[in-house]
A and B are shown apart, each in its own frame.
Chain A
């Protein structure tokens, strides 16, 4: 069986490279070849991941593939989970991309740039890189895969840079943030490898015990910073709400549902597995940043009026929830409550899976709307139910899954997370007694606000009347795009109704993390009814859903029976007697969020501009009123602007150093080299 994992994984890599070669085909055939190949690679990766989660690990060492270090790959249940998730997202996104990137039939260039050779080749390469990251088993392989993932995704983000100027800016932010993250990770892992005299993960794992606490903490903090920036954790999230909206939608889905997971993978792999856990403050930092990220992300999602920006901030929120689970797991393992720590980690991993499902669906549906209307602005959308019934229904399913209410899939994982946080109290000690209730409140508040955000996205974006001419002209997307979304929706529904099916695999994945490996027995059991180990509570998503459906049917029957007593009458929609009702009278995304903006005024700090121009003759008669309100990203404003200004100042101040003289530049090189040699000689 071990060979199944290896064969499927190698097949996934091979198919991905083959799909990239498919970009050499003529323009018409390119999307189908690259998309189909990527989908096949994704399917193979799902098989490999599931086989690994079922307990069939696989590893290989190819010493001659790369100079000096070689390539070391190992697929264990934890890697398997992330490989399977990435593969599943890739299948949906690639099938969707066949329709999304296809050139328009009538010769007009519908999506310029998306069917280009480079863009088509990057998609499978991006997927291959994301499959390699969790499979890497040595520092050099890991860093190589990580950088490959960053570069391919960056090239995909800027695919439409000729169309919109904002793409370039988003790409710049992403490039800088992702490379700063790489530097942090590289510094941490290189230090780790140097201290343990070897760079394979096995060697690191064995040497981690013997390292001094200072080195361990330095490694953890450096890698945490890098991984958190990839996961979009506040305050390192700034690239995410820029890059996700500007990337082509299938790429947004891949980035938001699969790539950000790699940040979580890194934290779990390095913190809980390689380092084998650590002092409580590490995990308090993780938990606190997760909590801040969850709240800040969901608040920004509530006020966002750009559909894809809303989804991007929702990613920040969900990754925050995952980190709350990871942090709780680490914290509880320190105080010895290993069974509950394993449950918290399992809940976090389940949330990674669920988030990947619904975020793929939502980004693909948002892309379908963008493709049909050309706008992402919720205030200009609406009325899509009749022209785009499939997209509307699928986005509705996605929004339901993202809300932490039954029968959504997020409900299951957040319920498990809350169970682990609530039951942490008796065993967790004083620290848990203080932090866990706060964490519970954070999870509950962000779950509630997420519902408001998705009610807004669905209600304002799809229902009521169209608010602009572009929304009126919308047409349903092509069958390939709908097929991609349907696949994602089916996966979401399966995860929501029968999460117990993957419980065994998740438990095994959580068990890889040495620090929280339970004393025996899976943290969650049961195919239909979920039973967290050692707790009195149980929950069955399937039965809840059936009960909900029965309740709805009974309620509708009762209402029908009661209302037939009186004759029905068709009446005009009440428009205050004035009429006719226009789209201008509808709720907009801005007005829907206004009460929440007011409540969270101190956090969001909205900027409002009111400009009243009186007529020339009298100051009392108003000629025109202009009102503008924006809710910016306050963290970006307060934290990043000063840094950017300082960097720009340093750049200006250093300009005299580069006066164009070649002799001077050669001199710089010589003195720098000599200085380094002296430094080495002194410190050796």
Chain B
């Protein structure tokens, strides 16, 4: 306990100063959420590169939570789905049901090049297609994997903060 407190004291604040708010209006459906977006992450078949970057975006340095975005444990608690990877056959039904389970109004973010257009996995035998082939997508984030700054920017686009 003492060591932990000392470490907290010595480390201090590591979060980077907030970059300027990205340009562009908040999507209409996300505007109803009024700056607080609860996110359920779904791995539809990712190589886990995007997951590492998501962890980093919600880590102490980039700290996406200070803009009103938060990861939750169930789609029933969520406003938005954060989908990574191409959609594989095994995850197709699960993704569709997860999308059904999110209460209205809901937003879907396709994160990474695989989620946007299958990336290097395009035409593989176990892949059904990109995320927009299975559920309607509202926001896309480029990159393989996307940098944490890009993820934070996209989420700030939803929260408007």
A interface residues, Cβ below 8 angstroms from B: 566, 569, 571-572, 574-579
Contact = CB atoms under 8 A, between A and B. Distances in A.
| Chain A binding surface, main DSSP class | loop
Nearest to B105: A566
Contacts of A566: 104
Interface in B91-110: 93-95, 97-98, 100-101, 104
A273 B100 CA distance: 71
A577 B94 contact: yes
B74 interface: yes
A440 B101 CA distance: 47
Interface in B71-107: 74-76, 93-95, 97-98, 100-101, 104
A572 B93 CA distance: 13
B63 to A, nearest CB: 29
A568 B75 CA distance: 17
A571 B94 contact: no
Contact of A574 (B76, B93, B95, B104): B76
Contacts of B76: 574
Interface residues of B, number: 11
A510 to B, nearest CB: 55
A325 B60 CA distance: 58
Interface string B52-83: 00000000000000000000001110000000
Contacts of B75: 574
B101 A574 contact: yes
Contacts of A571: 100-101
A379 to B, nearest CB: 26
A553 B10 CA distance: 56
A296 to B, nearest CB: 37
Closest 4 CB pairs of A and B: A577-B94, A577-B97, A577-B98, A574-B101
Chain A CB within 10 Å — which of B94, B97, B100 has the most? B97
A572 B98 CA distance: 10
11 contacts: A569-B104, A572-B97, A572-B100, A574-B101, A575-B97, A576-B94, A577-B94, A577-B95, A577-B98, A577-B101, A579-B97
Nearest to A577: B94
Contacts of B101: 571-572, 574, 577
Nearest to A578: B94
Contacts of B104: 566, 569
Given A569-B104, A572-B97, A577-B95, 16 more contacts: A566-B104, A571-B100, A571-B101, A572-B100, A572-B101, A574-B74, A574-B76, A574-B101, A576-B94, A577-B93, A577-B94, A577-B97, A577-B98, A577-B101, A578-B94, A579-B97
Contacts of B93: 577
Nearest to A576: B94
Contacts of A575: 97
B29 to A, nearest CB: 14
Nearest to A575: B97
